[in-house]
C-alpha cells in the first residue's frame, strides 16, 4: 500500500504531503484544484514520460516521492508467497503463470532489497535537462520504475476507458483473466524468431542475377586479397628496408667515419677513441697499483673498452652488409604499391584488408551455399510454424474457456452496476490462411465453451492435438500474430432483444465507465497489484448509478488500497478516508492543498457536492447520505463470508 506521497514543485502543486488510508480513499474538490495533477504526479513516479513543462514556474526541478509498504508482496519467512492464488475468485492461472514476474524478481534483477518491507520510489524532473529516478536512495534507470510500477499500482483514467474501446487490446484483458500472459509471451518469442527467419529467407530469394553479380564481385575481392598473401606487419618491415636500401651509400660513408673515430685510421696517421682509451687504461692501472682504492674504477674502464670494441666490430659488420641493391629496392617499391592499392579499396591498414577479405569470404560462402541455407531456413520456418500453431492452439483453448467465465462474471458485475439484463460476450475468431500456422482452435467435447468461429463464419478446424502439442498433418492453417491465432473482441447487448455489437459502436460514456469498472473489478482479483487508482471513473454516470459504483469501489478496497478522484457525493460518502483538494492564491501564486475531512467538514463537503452550496438543507442531505452509507457498509461486512 501507499503509505505516503510527497510532491513538490509539480505543475501548480507547491508542496503536498499525503498519507492515504489502507482502504477506500476518495478525493474531491473543485475543477482545476489539482486532483488529476496529483494522479499525473503518481504516474510520473511510476515511470511515465513527463516533460520539463511539468516543473512549477520559478522552480528548477520537481520531485515526487512515494513510500510503499510491500510486505504483502514479499515471501513469508518460510518462503511462502504472500499472495495465495486459492483466494482468487478467478480461473486458476496454472498454465502460463510466470513465477519470475514477481516484485521480488524485479527487485533482485537490479540488486535492491525492500528493507523492512518498505520501498521508497523517487522521481526528479529537471527543467533544463534529464531528471533522475531512485529506489531506496539508489539511482536507477526510468525503466526500473516502470517494471516496479507493474507490481504496485494500476491507474485507471479516461485513457483506460478508451483502451477498452480498442478491440486490439481486448486479447490482453482476456489473457490476464485467463492467467495466460506467460504463454502468450512464449508464443510471441516464437513469432519473433519466425519473422527473423522469414527475413533471412526472403533475402536469399532476391533476384538471382543480382545475387550472382554480388557473388562474382566477392569472388574477385577474396581472390585478390588472398593472392597478395599479406602479413600483418609487412608494410612496416618493407618501409624500413626500403629506407635502408635507398640510403645505402650514405650509410656506408657514415659507418666508415664512425669506425675511424672509434678505432683510428688504418694508416695509423690518426688515433681513434680506442687508442686514447688504451692510454687512459695504462695510466689508471698504474694509479690503482699505487692506490688500490681505484681498482673498481680501473675495472669499469676495462669494461667500457670491451663494450666499445664490440661497437666497433658491429659497425664494421654493418658497413660490410650495407650495399646498394637496385633489384631488391624495385621489388620492395612494387610490393608497397600493391599494398597501397589494396588499402585504397579495402581498408586503411593490412589488418582491415584481411578482415574485409575474411568477411567477404563468409558472405561468398553464404551466397555459394544459398540453396543449402535456403533449405535449412525453410525447414526452420516450418518447424517454427508448427510450434507457433501448437502454442496458438493451447492459448486458444485457454481463452475460449476463460471467455465463458469472463462473460458470466461481467454480466453479474453489470447487473450490480444498474445495467440489468445487459449481455456481454467475448467473440473469438480465427482467419483461415493457407500461409498461416497449423492449429486446432476448437474445443472438442467441451460443453462449457462455445465452438469458435472462423472470421468467415465457418466452423474452426478439428485436427487432434496430442499431449506433446504436435498437430495432425491435415490441421487447418490460420493467420497469426504475436498474440496467437485468435482475434478477440468484446461485444455487448445493453438491452434485451438487441443484437451483440462491438463496445465502440454501442457503449455510451456512462456505460463505458461502468464496463471499465466491471472488468477492472474482475481482473483486480486475478493479480496481486495492491493499489488501484481511479481518476474520475464516474464520468458520464448518474447519481443513482454512482451509488452502485461507490459500493463496487468500496468492495474492491477490501482487497486493495483504492484511491478515487470523484465528483459524485454517492461515491464520496462510502469512502473510508475522504480528502479535499483545493487551490488558493498566495503571494500572486496559485497553490494546491490537500486536507483530510472528518465530522462536520466532511458533511459540508458532501453537502456542496449535493447542492452546490453549503446550506442547512445540503448538510442535512449529506448527513443522511453518510448515515445510509455507513449502514450499507456495516450490512455488507455482515453479509461477507468469514
Q: Is 261 among the domain residues? A: yes
Q: What tens digit of pLDDT does each residue of 94-120 get? A: 333 333 457 777 788 788 887 788 899
Q: Is 608 among the domain residues? A: yes
- Region of residue 587 (phi > 0: left; psi between -120 and 50: alpha; otherwise: beta): left
Helical segments of 369-495, H only: 370-416
- The predicted pLDDT at position 509 comes to 59
Cell of 375: 533449405
- The predicted pLDDT at position 288 comes to 85
Full residue range of the structural domain in which residue 47 is found = 2-156+529-538+551-565+575-597
Q: What tens digit of pLDDT does each residue of 4-46 get? A: 999 998 888 888 889 999 999 999 888 766 777 888 888 888 8
Of 339, 365, 391, which one is at a domain's C-terminal end? Answer: 365
Query: Is pLDDT above 90 for 159?
Result: no
| 103-117, 183-197, 486-500, range with the lowest pLDDT | 103-117
214 pLDDT band, cuts 50/70/90, is confident
One domain for residues 603 and 587: no
Q: Is 515 among the domain residues? A: no
Average pLDDT, the chain: 81
| 25-34, 356-365, 407-416, 537-546, range with the lowest pLDDT | 537-546
pLDDT, greater one: 444 or 629? 629
One domain for residues 452 and 345: no
One domain for residues 556 and 626: no
Residue 10: CATH number of its domain? 3.40.50.300
- The predicted pLDDT at position 150 comes to 76
Q: What tens digit of pLDDT does each residue of 513-554 get? A: 677 778 877 876 655 678 888 887 776 666 677 788 888 889
Q: Is 145 among the domain residues? A: yes
One domain for residues 264 and 400: no
Which of 170, 165, 115, 88 lies closest to 529, judged by CA? Answer: 88
List all residues 6 or more positions away from 344 whose beta carbon is below 8 Å from its beta carbon: none
One domain for residues 338 and 405: no
End-to-end CA distance of the chain: 23
One domain for residues 618 and 590: no
Average pLDDT of the segment spanning 507-512? 62
Q: Is 360 among the domain residues? A: yes
Contact 183, 398 (CB under 8 A): yes
Number of domains into which the chain is organized: 4
Bridge partners, residue 65, by sequence: 6, 122
One domain for residues 500 and 416: yes
One domain for residues 6 and 148: yes
Of 365, 382, 404, which one is at a domain's C-terminal end? Answer: 365
CA–CA distance, 71 with 454 (Å, rounded to integer): 47
Going by the DSSP 8-state scheme, the letter that residue 450 receives in this structure is: P
For strands 577-586 and 24-28, give the pairing: parallel
One domain for residues 8 and 87: yes
One domain for residues 232 and 361: yes
Q: Is 22 among the domain residues? A: yes
- The predicted pLDDT at position 271 comes to 76
Q: Is 287 among the domain residues? A: yes
- The predicted pLDDT at position 163 comes to 61
- The predicted pLDDT at position 78 comes to 52
| 144-153, 462-471, 628-637, range with the lowest pLDDT | 462-471
Q: What tens digit of pLDDT does each residue of 418-436 get? A: 788 889 999 999 999 999 9
One domain for residues 151 and 33: yes
- The predicted pLDDT at position 506 comes to 67
Contact 14, 589 (CB under 8 A): yes
Q: Is 570 among the domain residues? A: no
Of 305, 332, 365, which one is at a domain's C-terminal end? Answer: 365
One domain for residues 131 and 7: yes
**pTM of the predicted structure, to 2 decimals:** 0.58
Amino acid at each position: 500500500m501507499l503509505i505516503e506521497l510527497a510532491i513538490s514543485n509539480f505543475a501548480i502543486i507547491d508542496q503536498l504531503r499525503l498519507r492515504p488510508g489502507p482502504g477506500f480513499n476518495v478525493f474531491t474538490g473543485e475543477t482545476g484544484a489539482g486532483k488529476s495533477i496529483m494522479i499525473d504526479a503518481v504516474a510520473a513516479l511510476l515511470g511515465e514520460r513527463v516533460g520539463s513543462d511539468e516543473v512549477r514556474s520559478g522552480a528548477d526541478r520537481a520531485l515526487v516521492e512515494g513510500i510503499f509498504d510491500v510486505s504483502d508482496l514479499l515471501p513469508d519467512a518460510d518462503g511462502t508467497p504472500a499472495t495465495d492464488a486459492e483466494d482468487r475468485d478467478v480461473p486458476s492461472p496454472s498454465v502460463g503463470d510466470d513465477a519470475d514476474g514477481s516484485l521480488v524478481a524485479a527487485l533482485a534483477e537490479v540488486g535492491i532489497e525492500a528493507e523492512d518491507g518498505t520501498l521508497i520510489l523517487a522521481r526528479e524532473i529537471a527543467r533544463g535537462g534529464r531528471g533522475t529516478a531512485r529506489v531506496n536512495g539508489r539511482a536507477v534507470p526510468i525503466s526500473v520504475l516502470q517494471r516496479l510500477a507493474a507490481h504496485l499500482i494500476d491507474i485507471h483514467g479516461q485513457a483506460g476507458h478508451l483502451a477498452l474501446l480498442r478491440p486490439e487490446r481486448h486479447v490482453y484483458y482476456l489473457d490476464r483473466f485467463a492467467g495466460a500472459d506467460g504463454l502468450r509471451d512464449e508464443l510471441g518469442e516464437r513469432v519473433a524468431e519466425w519473422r527473423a527467419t522469414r527475413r533471412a529467407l526472403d533475402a536469399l530469394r532476391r533476384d538471382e542475377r543480382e545475387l550472382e553479380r554480388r557473388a562474382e564481385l566477392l569472388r574477385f575481392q577474396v581472390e585478390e586479397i588472398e593472392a597478395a598473401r599479406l602479413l600483418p606487419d609487412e608494410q612496416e618491415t618493407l618501409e624500413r628496408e626500403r629506407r635502408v636500401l635507398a640510403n645505402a651509400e650514405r650509410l656506408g660513408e657514415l659507418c666508415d667515419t664512425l669506425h675511424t673515430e672509434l678505432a683510428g685510421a688504418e694508416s695509423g696517421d690518426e688515433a681513434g677513441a680506442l687508442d686514447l682509451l688504451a692510454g687512459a687504461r695504462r695510466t689508471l692501472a698504474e694509479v690503482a697499483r699505487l692506490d688500490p682504492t681505484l681498482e673498481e674504477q680501473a675495472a669499469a674502464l676495462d669494461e667500457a673498452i670491451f663494450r666499445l670494441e664490440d661497437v666497433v666490430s658491429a659497425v664494421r659488420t654493418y658497413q660490410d652488409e650495407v650495399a646498394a641493391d637496385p633489384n631488391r629496392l624495385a621489388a620492395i617499391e612494387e610490393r608497397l604499391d600493391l599494398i597501397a592499392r589494396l588499402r585504397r579499396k579495402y581498408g586503411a591498414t593490412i589488418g582491415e584488408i584481411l578482415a574485409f577479405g575474411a568477411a567477404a569470404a563468409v558472405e561468398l560462402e553464404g551466397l555459394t551455399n544459398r540453396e543449402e541455407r535456403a533449405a535449412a531456413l525453410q525447414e526452420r520456418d516450418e518447424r517454427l510454424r508448427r510450434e507457433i500453431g501448437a502454442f496458438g492452439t493451447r492459448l486458444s483453448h485457454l481463452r475460449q474457456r476463460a471467455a465463458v467465465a469472463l462473460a458470466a462474471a461481467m454480466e453479474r458485475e453489470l447487473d450490480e452496476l444498474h445495467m440489468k439484463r445487459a449481455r456481454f460476450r467475448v467473440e473469438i475468431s480465427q482467419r483461415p490462411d493457407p500461409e498461416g500456422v497449423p492449429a486446432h482452435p476448437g474445443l472438442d467435447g467441451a460443453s462449457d465453451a462455445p465452438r469458435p468461429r472462423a472470421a468467415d463464419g465457418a466452423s474452426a478446424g478439428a485436427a487432434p492435438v496430442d499431449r506433446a502439442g504436435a498437430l495432425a498433418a491435415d490441421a487447418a492453417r490460420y493467420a497469426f500474430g504475436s498474440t496467437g491465432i485468435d482475434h478477440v473482441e468484446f461485444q455487448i447487448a445493453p438491452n434485451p432483444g438487441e443484437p451483440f455489437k462491438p463496445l465502440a459502436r454501442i457503449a455510451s460514456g456512462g456505460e463505458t465507465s461502468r464496463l471499465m469498472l466491471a472488468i477492472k473489478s474482475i481482473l483486480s482479483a486475478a493479480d496481486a497489484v495492491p493499489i488501484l487508482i481511479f481518476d474520475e471513473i464516474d464520468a458520464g454516470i448518474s447519481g443513482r448509478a454512482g451509488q452502485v459504483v461507490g459500493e463496487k469501489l468500496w468492495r474492491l478496497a477490501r482487497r486493495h488500497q483504492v484511491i478515487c478522484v470523484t465528483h459524485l457525493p454517492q461515491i464520496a460518502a462510502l469512502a473510508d478516508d475522504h480528502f479535499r483538494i483545493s487551490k488558493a492564491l498566495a503571494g500572486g501564486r496559485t497553490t494546491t492543498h490537500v486536507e483530510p475531512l472528518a465530522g462536520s467538514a466532511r458533511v459540508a463537503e458532501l453537502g456542496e457536492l449535493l447542492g452546490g452550496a453549503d446550506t442547512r438543507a445540503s448538510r442535512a442531505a449529506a448527513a443522511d447520505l453518510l448515515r445510509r452509507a455507513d449502514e450499507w457498509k456495516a450490512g455488507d461486512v455482515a453479509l461477507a463470508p468469514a
